């Protein structure tokens, strides 16, 4: 039993930190706020070159075949940098294609994702905002040549830059997953402005949008378990990113508490502040345990992998919100300003809290497993 | 990262489970003699003193193996061994700082619970600020004359020996004039008065020492080195204990779920109430995270990274969780949570305190963990100063020093 990172894993983490510190500074993030796409193609190509996009994809398709632990290490560092871009939606969608795709679909998309030539995303939510895959209301009707999809997908991350959209829809056979070209006829994309300006969410309306017969990902009626698995994986990744955001806020709070003086002494010498910082560290450490246990459990196909994913998402969602919020409190007025960087991470944590199943969804998922 | 147990640890777990299933005391283990007999059996099976070196009667096992034993005992609800303070830290203190004579004389009998030990540290006016203690031990050549009062002494009423911190130099700075010496509890100069706890039982006590005698040969380390000695072994095996605790919480969780199936509100079982479900789900998430954290500490111990001040985070985390957890259980159980003797549908639960009882007992006991072994506030001070490197607080005693 060993809970520590291997030296390769540690190396990956360090090099990710180094790269992001240099190339994704808070100023970089701020510059992209006003960009209509919200991300930088140069940065995308750079992280492709670093091998991050193909990190977890199979070697046969241009990836490195590493696992969720390594992916979580990267995502933690990205959360720490408030990285702006469609990294996680793309990798998650690529995982879906890897898991369920036909050989031709894998050949078409996986190498392109690994080289940074394609972006992708999954449209989990319908209008009812119910995370249970079976709650999808979008419908697919069979036509002579293929299918038409109708419905409204809400809050789809980075759909406006995606080259392919994974859309779950109900068919007579049950829930089915389709690969959809976001620029096809019958689709309307509408960005939804949210408080984290570096997280881009898009509403996608499908009005009898035609898709080809070979656009099914996996068999008809087979999407339920696949989507549930993707949601869990997505949840662990989001938890890792929230952990990174929380770590950054903790570091900033502790750093500030050491130098800011009031009443003739550093504010960190006041117990009210010091104890807050201690509680924040406790939450960050527990979140670390939760994230990496869950990531390992997915890689190892452990018996409790599904439980652990929900535990990580539910726990870290609460913990990161608390840590980032308390960091603002420790800073006082400066923490409430637009110019100070704390809100980058505070908002990122909050944005992810509601994605890939919110706390309520995962708490219920936990209880269904342990209180049958 | 590989969180799978090794083949060796898996085999060990099977062996422990089998042993416990055959040997676990089925009847009552209540009286001291019954508990000593059970303890002895556990010791002979190799499940007590697991981390102690073999040369002192221990078993030279790993923290993981000790955790496995505690975990399996919690799963079965087997009564824990006794002499916990002795085996957990007084013995290790003697192993690290004691003389050969002391090791020969005390260790084996401590392991077998032939002699019960207590910790004579806290005083009425020296709790968190332990170094301000006033009990005096006067150097009389071959012995010390001890006068003063200790308080909150766990196992005091049943103890044969105690490890004592007392002032041997009244003129030195407060941390410098303290010595550590072993005190025989069964002597005329030592009077133990049981104190009743909020649970109704009297597991701790006051100890009055009036011209009590401690032998010179029982001095641990050097004269006036007591503070240093006390620091090195506090929390010796804190990390390895948490897995078993978490398993006790998990066993209690299953009992709580059973109760929510029996209890009804609005014509349906409580377990179907959305608000109850949400809170149970949250509690379970926290419980699991405590388990992952316990594994992480065990892994650090295994890799011999001493958890050091980081063990303060673990202790703070599980003791604070335990309070929230039993608060929730009692809220859900309503009036049933207050029962002091079990009824069928709300079984006795394993309170993780060594005192068996009901939900109410567990709820009451959960208040203790954040006070003893360094209160939560003290842990946060330690984390702030030693882990995060925040500036020390301005304190009157430091200004004077
Ligand atoms: C069940 C139980 C068993 C025990 N068993 C033993 C035993 O066997 N042997 C033994 O020697 N002792 C034992 N103790 C005593 C225990 O170690 C002390 O209670 C503990 O050290 C706190 O001291 P105190 O009770 O004097 O409280 P105080 O130190 O007076 O603390 C009161 C409050 O003030 C807070 N406080 C104190 N100092 C600070 C500070 N610097 N910053 C912020 N807050 C502060 C505390 O956190 C607490 O909330 C036991 C206690 C309990 C509850």
Q: Cα(first)–Cα(last) distance of chain B, in Å?
A: 47
pLDDT of residue B310: 76
Domain B117-223: which topology?
Butyryl-CoA Dehydrogenase, subunit A; domain 2 (2.40.110)
Tokens representing residue B284 in the block: 């379970």
Kindly report which listed range (A57-61, A221-225, B118-122, B294-298) carries the lowest average pLDDT score: B294-298
- Residues A79, A198 within the same domain: no
| Residue A342: domain span | 224-370
C-alpha triplet A148, A154, A155: angle, nearest 5° = 135
Using CA atoms, how far residue B99 sits from A167, A198, A351, B110, in Å, is 74, 65, 61, 16
Q: With 0-12 CB in 10 A as exposed, 13-18 as middle and 19+ as buried, what is B8?
A: exposed
Residue A139 lies in a domain: yes
Query: What is the CA(A255)–ligand 1 centre distance, in A?
Result: 31
pLDDT of residue B309: 74
Closest to A328 measured CA to CA, from A253, A226, A224, A275: A253
The reply to whether ligand 1 has any atom less than 6 angstroms from the CB of B161 is no
pLDDT of residue B232: 75
Write the pLDDT tens digit of every residue in A126-167.
Answer: 999 999 999 999 999 999 999 999 999 999 999 999 999 999
Residue A332 lies in a domain: yes
**B209-245 burial code (b ≥16 CB/10 A, e <16):** beebbbeeebbbbebbbbbebbeebbbbbbbbbbbbb
Q: Which positions 342-361 of A are in contact with B (Cβ < 8 Å)?
A: 359-360
Who's near A109: CB < 8 A, 6+ residues apart?
Answer: A94, A97, A101, A118, A120, A164
- CB-CB under 8 Å, A278 with B383: yes
CATH of the domain at A277: 1.20.140.10
Rounded CA separation A244/A15 (Å):
15
The reply to whether ligand 1 has any atom less than 6 angstroms from the CB of B121 is yes
Residue A349 lies in a domain: yes
Write the pLDDT tens digit of every residue in A70-93.
Answer: 999 999 999 999 999 999 999 999
- CB-CB under 8 Å, B389 with A363: no
The alpha carbon torsion through B141, B143, B147, B148 (nearest 10 deg) reads 120
Strand A146-157, strand B178-184: pairing: unpaired
The reply to whether ligand 1 has any atom less than 6 angstroms from the CB of B190 is no
**Which member of A258, A285, A363 has the closest CB to residue B313?**
A285
DSSP string, A56-85: TS-GGGT-----HHHHHHHHHHHHHHT--S
Tokens representing residue B125 in the block: 């006016």
Q: How many residues does chain A have?
A: 372
The reply to whether ligand 1 has any atom less than 6 angstroms from the CB of B122 is yes
CB B337 within 8 A of CB B179: no
- CB-CB under 8 Å, B381 with A274: yes
CA distance B218 to chain A (A): 39
The alpha carbon torsion through B249, B250, B253, B258 (nearest 10 deg) reads -130
Integer Rg of chain B from CA = 22
Rounded CA separation A210/A187 (Å):
9
Query: What is the CA(B147)–ligand 1 centre distance, in A?
Result: 22
- Residues A11, A113 within the same domain: yes
CATH of the domain at A33: 1.10.540.10
Reduced to 3 states (helix: H, G, I; strand: E, B; else coil), residue B307 is: coil
Tokens representing residue B49 in the block: 């003193």
Using CA atoms, how far residue B110 sits from B91, B98, B127, B187, B214, in Å, is 7, 14, 26, 19, 18
**pLDDT > 80? residue A123:** yes
Choosing from A219, A242, A276, the residue where a domain stops is A219
- Phi, psi (rounded to 5 degrees) for A305: -60, -40
Q: With 0-12 CB in 10 A as exposed, 13-18 as middle and 19+ as buried, what is B393?
A: middle
- Residues A171, A281 within the same domain: no
Residue A138 lies in a domain: yes
- Phi, psi (rounded to 5 degrees) for A333: -55, -40
Rounded CA separation B72/B150 (Å):
36
* Crossing angle of helices A271-299 and A305-331, rounded to 10°: 160
- Residues A47, A19 within the same domain: yes
- Residues A193, A245 within the same domain: no
Q: Which positions 230-269 of A are in contact with B (Cβ < 8 Å)?
A: 254, 257-258, 265-266, 268-269
Residue closest via CA to ligand 1's atom 52 equals B372
Q: Which CATH class is domain B7-82?
A: mainly alpha
pLDDT of residue B346: 64
The correct CATH number of B241-387 out of 1.10.275.10, 1.10.274.100, 1.10.3720.10, 1.20.140.10 is: 1.20.140.10
The mean of the pLDDT values for chain A is: 97
Using CA atoms, how far residue B76 sits from A99, A253, B3, B252, in Å, is 41, 44, 23, 12
Q: Which chain B residues contact residue A4 at CB under 8 A?
A: 1, 299-300, 303
pLDDT of residue B29: 80
Q: Do domains B7-82 and B117-223 have the same CATH topology?
A: no
pLDDT of residue B351: 64
Rounded CA separation A123/A358 (Å):
16
Closest to A232 measured CA to CA, from A99, A128, A81, A103: A99
Q: Within its chain, how far is the Cα of B204 from the centroid?
A: 13
Rounded CA separation B76/A20 (Å):
50
Q: Where are the domains of chain B?
A: 7-82, 117-223, 241-387
Write the pLDDT tens digit of every residue in A3-52.
Answer: 999 999 999 999 999 999 999 999 999 999 999 999 999 999 999 999 99
Rounded CA separation A356/A121 (Å):
12
Tokens representing residue B293 in the block: 């954290």
Q: Does the ipTM surpass 0.85?
A: yes
Query: What is the CA(B207)–ligand 1 centre distance, in A?
Result: 16
Tokens 């869950």, residue located: A294
Catalytic residues of B: 237
Mean pLDDT of A353-368: 97
- CB-CB under 8 Å, B4 with A366: no
Q: How many domains does chain A have?
A: 3
Q: Which chain A residues contact residue B290 at CB under 8 A?
A: 286
CB B113 within 8 A of CB B43: yes
Mean pLDDT of A282-298: 98
Tokens representing residue A156 in the block: 């789809």
In chain B, which residues have pLDDT < 50? none
Choosing from A198, A219, A240, the residue where a domain stops is A219
Choosing from A219, A243, A266, the residue where a domain stops is A219
pLDDT of residue B24: 85
pLDDT of residue B398: 79
- CB-CB under 8 Å, A5 with B277: no
Residue A1 lies in a domain: no
C-alpha triplet A359, A362, A365: angle, nearest 5° = 150
Residue A2 lies in a domain: no
Using CA atoms, how far residue B372 sits from A260, B130, B180, B235, B319, in Å, is 33, 12, 20, 11, 10
Residue A361 lies in a domain: yes
CB B298 within 8 A of CB B67: yes
Rounded CA separation A89/A120 (Å):
6
How many CB atoms are closer than 10 A to CB B356?
Answer: 17
- CB-CB under 8 Å, B5 with A1: yes
The reply to whether ligand 1 has any atom less than 6 angstroms from the CB of B367 is no
- Residues A126, A31 within the same domain: no
CB B179 within 8 A of CB B137: yes
Query: What is the CA(B384)–ligand 1 centre distance, in A?
Result: 19
Rounded CA separation B206/B120 (Å):
10
Q: Which positions 4-33 of A are in contact with B (Cβ < 8 Å)?
A: 4-6, 9
Q: Which atom of ligand 1 is least distant from the CA of B368?
A: 53
């Amino acid at each position: 039993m060993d809970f520590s990172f291997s030296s390769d894993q540690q190396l990956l983490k360090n090099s990710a930190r180094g790269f992001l510190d240099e190339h994704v500074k808070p100023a970089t993030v701020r510059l992209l706020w006003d960009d209509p796409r919200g991300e930088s193609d140069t940065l995308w190509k750079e992280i492709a070159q670093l091998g991050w996009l193909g990190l977890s994809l199979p070697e046969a398709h241009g990836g490195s075949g590493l696992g969720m632990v390594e992916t979580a290490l990267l995502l933690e560092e990205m959360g720490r940098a408030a990285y702006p871009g469609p990294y996680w939606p793309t990798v998650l969608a690529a995982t879906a294609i890897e898991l369920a795709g036909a050989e031709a679909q894998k050949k078409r998309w996986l190498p392109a994702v690994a080289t940074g030539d394609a972006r992708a995303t999954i449209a989990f939510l319908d209008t009812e905002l119910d995370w249970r895959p079976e709650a999808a209301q979008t419908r697919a009707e069979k036509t002579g040549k293929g299918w038409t999809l109708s419905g409204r997908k809400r809050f789809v991350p980075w759909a406006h830059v995606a080259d392919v959209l994974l859309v779950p829809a109900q068919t007579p056979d049950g829930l089915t997953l389709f690969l959809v070209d976001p620029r096809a006829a019958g689709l309307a994309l509408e960005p939804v402005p949210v408080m984290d300006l570096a997280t881009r969410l898009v509403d996608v309306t499908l009005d009898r949008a035609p898709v080809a017969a070979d656009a099914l990902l996996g068999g008809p009626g087979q999407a339920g378990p696949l989507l549930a698995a993707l949601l869990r994986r997505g949840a662990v990744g989001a938890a890792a990113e929230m952990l990174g955001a929380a770590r950054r806020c903790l570091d900033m709070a502790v750093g500030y508490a050491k130098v800011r003086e009031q009443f003739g002494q550093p504010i960190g010498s006041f117990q009210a502040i010091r104890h807050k910082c201690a509680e924040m560290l406790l939450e960050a450490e527990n979140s670390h345990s939760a994230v990496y246990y869950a990531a390992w459990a997915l890689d190892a196909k452990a018996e409790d992998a599904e439980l652990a994913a929900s535990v990580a998402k539910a726990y870290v969602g609460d913990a990161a919100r608390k840590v980032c919020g308390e960091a603002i409190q420790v800073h006082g007025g400066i923490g409430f300003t637009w110019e100070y960087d704390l809100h980058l991470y505070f908002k990122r944590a909050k944005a992810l809290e509601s994605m890939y199943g919110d706390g309520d969804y995962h708490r219920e998922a936990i209880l269904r497993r342990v209180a049958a | 990262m590989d969180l799978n147990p090794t083949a060796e640890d898996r085999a060990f777990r099977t062996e422990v489970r089998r042993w416990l299933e055959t040997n676990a005391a089925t009847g009552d283990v209540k009286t001291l003699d019954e508990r000593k007999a059970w303890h002895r059996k556990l010791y002979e099976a190799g499940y007590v003193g697991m981390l102690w070196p073999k040369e002192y009667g221990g078993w030279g096992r790993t923290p993981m193996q000790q955790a496995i034993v505690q975990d399996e005992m919690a799963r079965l609800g087997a009564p824990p061994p006794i002499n916990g303070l002795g085996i957990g830290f007084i013995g290790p203190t003697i192993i690290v700082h004691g003389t050969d004579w002391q090791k020969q004389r005390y260790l084996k009998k401590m392991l077998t619970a032939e002699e019960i030990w207590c910790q004579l540290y806290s005083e009425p006016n020296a709790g968190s600020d332990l170094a301000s203690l006033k009990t005096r031990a006067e150097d009389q050549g071959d012995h010390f004359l001890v006068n003063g009062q200790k308080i909150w002494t766990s196992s005091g009423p049943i103890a044969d020996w105690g490890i004592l911190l007392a002032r041997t130099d009244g003129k030195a700075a407060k941390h410098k004039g303290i010595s550590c010496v072993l005190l025989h509890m069964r002597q005329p100069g030592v009077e133990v008065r049981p104190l009743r706890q909020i649970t109704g039982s009297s597991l701790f006590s006051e100890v009055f020492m009036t011209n009590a005698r401690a032998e010179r040969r029982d001095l641990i380390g050097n004269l006036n080195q007591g503070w240093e000695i006390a620091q090195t072994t506090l929390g010796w095996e804190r990390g390895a204990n948490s897995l078993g605790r978490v398993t006790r919480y998990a066993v209690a969780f299953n009992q709580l779920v059973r109760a929510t199936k029996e209890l009804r509100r609005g014509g349906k079982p409580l377990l179907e109430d959305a608000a109850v479900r949400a809170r149970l789900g949250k509690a379970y998430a926290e419980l699991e995270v405590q388990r992952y954290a316990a594994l992480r500490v065990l892994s650090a111990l295994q890799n011999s990274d001493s958890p050091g001040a980081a063990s303060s985070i673990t202790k703070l985390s599980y003791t604070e969780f335990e309070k929230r957890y039993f608060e929730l259980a009692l809220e859900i159980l309503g009036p049933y949570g207050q029962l002091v003797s079990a009824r069928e549908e709300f079984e006795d639960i394993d309170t993780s305190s060594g005192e068996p009882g009901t939900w109410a007992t567990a709820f009451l006991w959960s208040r203790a963990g954040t006070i003893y072994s360094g209160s939560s506030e003290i842990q946060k001070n330690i984390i702030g100063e030693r882990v995060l490197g925040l500036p020390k607080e301005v304190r009157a005693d430091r200004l004077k020093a």
